[in-house]
A and B are shown apart, each in its own frame.
Chain A
Amino acid sequence: MIAVLNVDWQTLADALALGGIYALMAVGIGLVFGVLRLVNFAYGQLIMAGAYALAFASQWGLPRGVGILFCFGVVLVLSIAMDWLVFRPLRTQSPAVMLVATFAIAFLLQSIALLAFGPLGKIASSLAPLNRPVTISGVDIRKIAIVSIVVAALCLVLLQLLLTRTAVGLQMRAASMDFGTARLLGVRANRVIGGAVLVSGLLAAVVAVMLTVQTPLVTPDFALRDTIVVLAGVVLGGLNRPVPATLGGFSIGFASGLLGGALPTNQSQYLPTFLFAAVIVVLLVRPNGLFTRGASAERV
């Protein structure tokens, strides 16, 4: 398979790393969707904000650890503000209204970044050494690819533990099955939603750190493309449950990494077309996603 596609080890590692990063974004989007029925278009802008935090930290010459902390702080504050100012007042509206609202927030944040930091972008260089290759049994692989795979796996394991071994995790899963019934049984809505938003923000910050190592130039549309692709992946996998959403995110990241690296440019430029055509087909044939079972979604 690898020989057929003419893929080298670096491409494979990069594809795995991209799959891991996209899987984390998919979890971030899927968790919030689970409890709020809200597809967060503005998720990429959280990552963008984190990336700018890292860029400023390296411009001010802060130590690496402090810069990463700063990034986490900015992303968490922003996601909690988003929850309070937008998601909370709109909780009773239809999913379509909330989708348009997050679309508006995404544009608002992006244009604020454009206004405040300019279109040219800033360089986040403090973690640049991670971009150098290491040699493992004669094969060169960039360190960041390994770090991304490990961090993504670690985050997913921790998340699985949170969801299955803690009270708030159990409540989150219950809420994403049936929010109404969960509340009747004593689940506190604000606690669960707050928890989901917080975890989703943490994941956005992790993704911001890893993406800035891969692409140190931070522009206002940083992570915008990635978010659109991940959204497609999440829908492909199945929005309703964390595990299918994660699988969907991973597969689309892995596939686009692999195909983007293996195909010649005149074919890989049409990758989005195939990706989104697949999304449409899945929505028509299996509206609940590829990796799920159970009743079908709303149809006419």
Chain B
Amino acid sequence: MRRLVPAAQLAAPLVLVAVAALVGTLVSTSSEGYFVDALVKVTIVVGLYVFIGNSGVLSFGHISFVAVGAWLAGVLSVPVREKPAIMPNLAGFLRDRTVGNIPSLLLAAAVGAAFALVVGLALMRLSGLAAGIATFAVLEITHNMLRFYEKIGPGLNTFSSVPETTGLWQAAIGAFVAIGAAFAYQRSRYGRLLRATREDPAAASAVGVSVYRQRLGAFVLSGALAGLAGGLYVHLLPMNTESVYLDLTFITLAMLVVGGSASLWGAVVGALAVSALDSFLANAENGVSLPGGTLDLPAGTRLVVVGALMALVLVARPSGITGGREFPTRWLRR
């Protein structure tokens, strides 16, 4: 039975995602969007987890990898005919090409990884507070460049005419890929080495682990997953620079912290739980009928509740609702 432990630890988050996708097929088309969005968020949060969870180093910068992934996939997916109208100042190599759905997602993952590599080569020497501030600076720079540099995208405008190919299945497959990659990584030699540096950097480097290289590896993998999520996102809804900035950074970090940042199970549970709460509140802002009366919350309640929840979890249970542990498998070990 013991041999089944890793299988159960991989299966549990996969099953959770599959259940969410299946429930999504049963609800009305108007609510389906919430489920697709939740599955894309799972991909982002799992990407965050690969770096933050395994290394214990904070990053406010991952949404910039989501942003560059979204930008590349978005720009390349708009049909060539429509590009001059939407993005008149586009650079030549982006203007004359259009790629299909799958290649655009792969390219999004690749550009996320490449950007993470460039950033990580410089920043992975930092830890603690300095890492937090420096990754935040990366987010600011990315946001500023994408907003005003119109050779690489729509600038201040919203992406339009991107084919909306991200439905339930594409989002679910994206989340599966992310979970599979994260699980394979954390079971691998490199994942274990990185977690050793998280527990005790001094002891890990004393036995010959390069903290810098292990962190860089995880950073690049998590950049790839974040880029993929960006590609999925741009195929889901019309987005602009504000959709990949502070709000998304906040909500995805909240998901990771609420779920428990030290485990894959925590990342997936957090993403789905906070998404569920968030969508319920979004619905309730428009009035929702419950047994025992209608609930009609004022607009803006969502962020208040999620913010309060995140603060509460941080104060009362800093390791998150799962306690930062993988799916409980004690029953398999007996």
Contacts and interface: CB of A to CB of B under 8 A. Distances in A.
A92 to B, nearest CB: 10
B129 to A, nearest CB: 5
Given A101-B314, A104-B254, A280 B307 contact: no
Interface string B231-255: 0000000000000000000100110
B250 A93 contact: no
Contact of A96 (B58, B134, B140, B311): B58
A276 B137 CA distance: 5
Given A299-B126, A300-B201, A269 B311 contact: no
A190 interface: no
B213 to A, nearest CB: 10
A283 B133 contact: yes
B253 A95 contact: no
A280 B301 contact: no
Interface in A82-128: 85-86, 89-90, 93-97, 99-101, 103-105, 107-108, 110-112, 114-115
Contact of A111 (B124, B138, B304): B304
B181 interface: no
Interface string A247-272: 00000000000000000000001101
A96 B133 contact: no
A270 B130 contact: no
Interface in B241-273: 250, 253-254, 257
A235 interface: yes
Contacts of A245: none
A44 to B, nearest CB: 12
B321 interface: no
Contacts, number: 138
A59 to B, nearest CB: 20
B315 A99 contact: no
Contacts of A96: 56-58, 128-129, 131-132
A235 B133 CA distance: 8
Interface stretch (B71-79, B90-98, B141-149, B184-192): B141-149
Interface of A, helix, strand, loop or mixed by DSSP: helix
B278 to A, nearest CB: 12
Contact of B311 (A86, A95, A239, A270): A86
Given A103-B253, A104-B314, A269-B148, A287 B126 contact: yes
A167 interface: no
B318 interface: yes
A97 B125 contact: no
A204 interface: no
A99 B58 contact: yes
B44 interface: no
Contact of B257 (A89, A100, A111): A100
B328 to A, nearest CB: 24
B318 A279 contact: no
B140 A276 contact: yes
B206 interface: no
Interface string B100-140: 00000000000000000000001111111111111011101
B314 A108 contact: no
A112 B215 CA distance: 37
A270 B257 contact: no
Contacts of B132: 39, 95-96, 99
Interface in A270-298: 270, 272-273, 275-277, 279-280, 283-284, 287, 297-298
Contacts of A114: 300, 303
B301 A231 contact: no
Contact of B123 (A37, A39, A115, A280): A280
Interface of B, helix, strand, loop or mixed by DSSP: helix
B318 A115 contact: no
A96 B314 CA distance: 11
Contacts of A101: 311, 314-315
Given A101-B315, A111-B303, A284-B122, A300 B137 contact: no
Contacts of B84: none
B304 A115 contact: yes
Given A108-B307, A280-B137, A300 B128 contact: no
B310 interface: yes
A298 B137 contact: no
A35 interface: no
A235 B257 CA distance: 25
Given A228-B140, A280-B138, A99 B129 contact: yes
Contact of A287 (B130, B311, B314): B130
B149 to A, nearest CB: 8
Interface of B: 56-58, 60, 122-134, 136-138, 140-141, 143-145, 148, 201, 205, 211-212, 215, 250, 253-254, 257, 298-304, 307-308, 310-311, 314-315, 318
26 contacts: A39-B133, A95-B129, A96-B128, A97-B314, A97-B318, A99-B129, A100-B253, A100-B314, A101-B315, A104-B311, A105-B307, A108-B310, A112-B304, A115-B298, A115-B301, A235-B130, A239-B129, A272-B140, A273-B145, A276-B140, A283-B137, A284-B123, A298-B130, A299-B126, A300-B124, A300-B127
A-B complex: 9 closest residue pairs judged by Cβ atoms:
A108-B307, A111-B303, A276-B137, A115-B300, A96-B58, A104-B310, A300-B211, A272-B144, A276-B140
Given A111-B304, A232-B133, 5 more contacts: A39-B129, A90-B315, A115-B301, A276-B137, A284-B122
